Structure 1
Amino acid sequence: MDLSIIIVNYNTKQLTLNCVASVLESETEYTYEIILVDNASKDDTVVAVKQQYPCVHLIENKDNLGFSKANNQGMHVAKGRYVLLLNSDTIVQPDTFDIMIRFMDENPKVGSAGCKVVLPDGSLDKACKRGFPTPAATFYYVSGISKRYPNSPKYNAYHRGDLDENGSYPIDCLVGAFMMVRREAIEQVGMLDEDYFMYGEDVDWCYRIQQAGWVNYYHAATSILHLKRASSRNKPYKITYEFHRAIYLLHKKNFAKYYPWWVNAFMYTGIVVKTAVALALNTCFKAKALFTNKK
């Protein structure tokens, strides 16, 4: 088996069906399997997949285990030389797999690779080529300085606006929406860190892969469409909390040891403040929506 495609679903029935359809319509010379891990969806996704796509290897969870654990479940049964994390809210191009697998085969030092990820409005999903969220990169991003200098490798070190979105080059971070990983790299560094529920696990994985001597690579010779955050729209509090918790875990696990105590204290304080502000804004938006509906 050349490629194991792992798709995690949580109440994204039609998007998941569309995603699987795009995979099966691929024009590829390589062998692949589709592993769908369902996190206790309540929208009959499992029934629909069984009826329409019996070729899919289906794993049914009784609870929502999150992105990391669900993907790891898929990896435990995956048979491919490469493992692809693919979001349920994506559409792949017919040539995506051929281009990416051929690239990986020709570049044995590449541990993981991602393609160009495009949003519905045609713009780039900036998460597909990122720098690591160091304290400096995080500060410039959160403070808005990165927006004033979008093409600066210093001030926009997180989204790397200085790098051509249509190019191909080594990069710190890829995005879990489309991340193809070599089996040897997985065997060396391990699977996704299950301390992350969702968000941050892809950055953490890229960091560990790079630290082990492999190269993470952005390869824009092909692209996918990403209908972003489809499975998280109805749970803003949970999503907001997990997003900021992921920032905390990333810093604590990977970067804190390289910085003095006052930098770490600044980071942790900033995370707490930003989380509180985000949760307060969510509350205000919900209250406003409720008031508007009552009127």
Structure 2
Amino acid sequence: MKLTVVILNYNVRYFLEQCIQSVQSAIKNIDAEIIVIDNDSKDDSCEMMKSKFPQIQLIENRENVGFSKANNQAVKVAKGEYVCILNPDTAVAEDAFLNSLKYAESLEKMGALGVYLMDGTGNYLPESKRNIPTPAISLLKLLGRVKSYYANHLGDKEKGEVEVLVGAYMLLKRSVYNEVSGFDEDYFMYGEDIDLSYKILNAGYKNHYLGSLNVLHYKGESTQKNAKYYERFYGAMQIFYKKHFKPNPILNFAVNAGVFIMKKLRHTSEGKNQAMISTEQAYVFTENFSLFKKISEKIEIPVKNVSKSMLEDQIIKNAMLIFDVDYMPYSQIFSVMDQLKNKNNQFRIRPKNCNFILGSDTSDEKGHVMVF
């Protein structure tokens, strides 16, 4: 078998359903399998899996064992030559895995491969490619100086070697994953992708970034930047420093002080300064009149049924764009989102044959699901 796609889920039932549907479309011409592992979700994620995807292997944990341990569980039973670690709050284009595998197999000493991640607003997520976060670099990031944290030697749409990739989409040979012992289980959540990237480099492999391949990562569904986030993220960084760097009490104190300040600032600013997108018109890209009618009954602003040709005629602003995947493939949806980002637009997707639309308007808040 060529590929195993591992999806770790925790309480994101609707986003998981979209993710699986997009993956199924992307592995049609590949000898591949999907493994979903659930960390004791309290929503109906597992019931949905058994009902809608009974052919997919589902591992149900009876407790939340964290990101590292759960992914390691899944990889242990994987059969693919390659594994792709994939977040449940993602959607992939129809050619994502074909192009990833083709590029990976063209490289020597390939470690892990990452791609261009966009959020629900169509904007690039800079954590798609990063540098090794030394204590000094992490402290600068805390203080708002992020230039050295991200791998800016490569353009967002370029390809080449980078040091650190993000675990939302990480493709590598299963043999390499096992050689470096997978994700370090001392990390519960956050930092484990940095650690794995670093271990891969130390094992003599090269990590690569492929900027021509877009993956949608809502991010806010799994990463809300509240006080607990800062505590867990920089707690993970401290584990990373202890494992891979010489002790530096001064920098450790500075990082701890920075975490304390950021948590306080975040607490006082929660609920403030969140950019709210106000839209005047909704456009539904579909040929399904029944679907259009159902959506129209749920949305308060004026709703219009349109075709793809509209995108050639005008630049859309101040609108909600609702894409029916039965009418428009993910690859085209991602292209439209990129084209119309930063124009006060909202983007929603209706996965194939589903009774809901979903999206996200910020990178660090919960997404939106509308069931009809």
Q: How does 1:1-295 map to 2 (within 5 A)?
A: 1-26=1-26, 28-146=28-146, 156-233=147-224, 236-256=226-246, 264-284=248-268
1:151 matched residue in structure 2: none
Indicate if the aligned counterparts of 2:139 and 2:258 stay in contact, CA closer than 8 A.
no
Report deviation, 1:270: 2.1
2:338 matched residue in structure 1: none
Residues in 2 aligned to 1:27 and 1:283: alpha-carbon distance in whole angstroms: 43
- Pair 209,27 (structure 1): closer, same or farther in 2 beyond 3 Å: closer
Aligned-partner residue type, residue 92 of structure 1: V
What do you get for the CA RMSD once the two structures are aligned? 1.9
Report deviation, 1:285: 5.2
Secondary structure in 2 matching 1:106: coil
Matched length: 272
Deviations 1:42-77 (A, max 9, x none): 111000011111121100011111111111111111
Report deviation, 1:173: 0.5
Indicate if the aligned counterparts of 1:28 and 1:97 stay in contact, CA closer than 8 A.
no
Indicate if the aligned counterparts of 2:68 and 2:189 stay in contact, CA closer than 8 A.
yes
Residues in 1 aligned to 2:215 and 2:4: alpha-carbon distance in whole angstroms: 17
Indicate if the aligned counterparts of 2:226 and 2:267 stay in contact, CA closer than 8 A.
no
1:291 matched residue in structure 2: none
Considering Cα pairs closer than 8 Å and 6+ residues apart, tell me whether 1 or 2 has the greater RCO.
1
Secondary structure in 1 matching 2:105: helix
Residues in 2 aligned to 1:67 and 1:100: alpha-carbon distance in whole angstroms: 23
Decide which structure has the larger Cα Rg and report it.
2
Deviations 1:150-208 (A, max 9, x none): xxxxxx22112342111110100010000001122123211100111111000100000
Deviations 1:3-48 (A, max 9, x none): 1111111110000011001111226532111111101101110000
Residues in 1 aligned to 2:220 and 2:63: alpha-carbon distance in whole angstroms: 20
Deviations 1:57-109 (A, max 9, x none): 10001111111111111111111101111001000000000000111222241
Aligned-partner residue type, residue 250 of structure 1: F
Secondary structure in 1 matching 2:245: helix
Residues in 1 aligned to 2:134 and 2:178: alpha-carbon distance in whole angstroms: 27
Residues in 1 aligned to 2:263 and 2:132: alpha-carbon distance in whole angstroms: 25
Indicate if the aligned counterparts of 1:199 and 1:243 stay in contact, CA closer than 8 A.
yes
Aligned-partner residue type, residue 127 of structure 2: A
Structure 1 unaligned regions, length at least 5: 147-155, 289-295
Indicate if the aligned counterparts of 1:6 and 1:85 stay in contact, CA closer than 8 A.
yes
TM-score (normalizing by structure 2): 0.69
Query: Which structure has more helix as a fraction of its residues?
Result: 1
Residues in 1 aligned to 2:251 and 2:110: alpha-carbon distance in whole angstroms: 32
Residues in 2 aligned to 1:110 and 1:160: alpha-carbon distance in whole angstroms: 18
